[in-house]
Amino acid sequence: MALGVLSDATLGDRLVVRARHGDGAQDALGTLTARTADTVTIETRRGPLDVRLADVVAAKPVPPPPAPRPRRP
C-alpha cells in the first residue's frame, strides 16, 4: 500500500514517508521532488532526503503546513 501511495503521488505532493533506518525507522515529511525506479526524494526542512523504496514501511499524503501565526506585540 505504501508503494502504491508513492507511485500515485505526483511531483510536488506533500507526503510523509517512514522507512527502515538501521535498527529503527526514519520519517521524511516534505514535498516529493524526484522519483526513480529505486528511490524517492523528499524535500524536507533539513534538505533533500533520498529514500530507498525497498526500505519504505509506510507513506501517506499530508495537508499543507499551517500558516505561520502572527507574532504578538
Kindly state the helix (H) or strand (E) to which residue 20 belongs, with its residue range: strand 14-21
pTM of the shown model: 0.86
pLDDT bracket for residue 65 (50, 70, 90) = confident
**Contact of 58 with 5, CB cutoff 8 Å:** no
Is residue 73's pLDDT more than 90?
no
3-class DSSP state for residue 33? strand
What does the alpha-carbon distance between residue 33 and residue 50 come to, in Å, rounded to a whole number? 10
- Tens of pLDDT, residues 1-50: 788 899 999 999 999 999 999 999 999 999 999 999 999 999 999 999 99
For residue 29, the Cα-to-chain-centroid distance in whole angstroms is 4
